[in-house]
Chains A and B, each alone.
Chain A
């Protein structure tokens, strides 16, 4: 079974430039997540979709970050304009929809962003 696919794997941009990351979740997984992981920290949830609706975007810096999942399958996360502190790994993950807590979340390999 194919896992969560992400691209690009690595990106270096200058501050104030823009960048976009793409994610294709595991087939059939209705829930999709974008996490930001800064070096030495645990992943932090940026946004969670269920199908094409947003479940939680409370920690998404909406002045510069945006995400969409228009057809309820793949998703794009955009940063514009980028700041130095956005340097991190952006992890996409997906899970099945469950009635309660506890469905396993599967992560992609991540998109490594360096802002210089």
Chain B
């Protein structure tokens, strides 16, 4: 089983739609969680951290379920500019040892 698993997609959605991505992780001792965004042929960039209580940043909401070991990202009112690959990232412990999922590709269409 992979340490971090994501549906690779692509998710093709119309502009204005709400879309959700899930990610599961295998190591129950994982300490922190993130979503990174990667545009085509660009480097990954931090989108948001994921907190146990859930957190929101504008149109983006991230949630963590430790009991089920999954993380979610919800994007409301999708924009064309949201088209990218969204990488689920898990930190196993101290020292910033990040494990990346394969990414979920989102395409927002007119």
Query: A residues bordering B, Cβ < 8 Å?
Result: 31, 35, 40-45, 48, 50, 55-56, 91, 95, 98-105, 107-110
Contact of A101 among B4, B8, B46, B91 (CB under 8 A): B91
Q: A42-B103, A102-B49 are in contact. Are A107 and B96 (CB under 8 A)?
A: no
Query: B residues bordering A, Cβ < 8 Å?
Result: 4, 8, 31-32, 42-46, 49, 87, 91, 93-103
Given contacts A98-B96, A101-B95, A105-B96, 11 further A-B contacts (CB under 8 A): A42-B102, A48-B96, A48-B97, A91-B44, A101-B31, A102-B49, A102-B96, A107-B44, A108-B43, A109-B42, A110-B43
* Minimal Cβ-Cβ distance residue in A for B44: A107
> Do residues B43 and A104 form an inter-chain contact, with CB atoms below 8 A?
no
Distance of A95 Cα from B34 Cα, bound (Å): 15
* Minimal Cβ-Cβ distance residue in B for A38: B102
Q: A107-B44, A109-B43 are in contact. Are A40 and B8 (CB under 8 A)?
A: yes
Contact sample, A vs B, 9 pairs, CB 8 Å cutoff: A41-B102, A42-B4, A42-B100, A56-B95, A91-B44, A102-B31, A103-B96, A108-B43, A110-B43
> Do residues B98 and A40 form an inter-chain contact, with CB atoms below 8 A?
no
Contacts of B32 in A (CB 8 A): 101-102
> Do residues A95 and B96 form an inter-chain contact, with CB atoms below 8 A?
yes
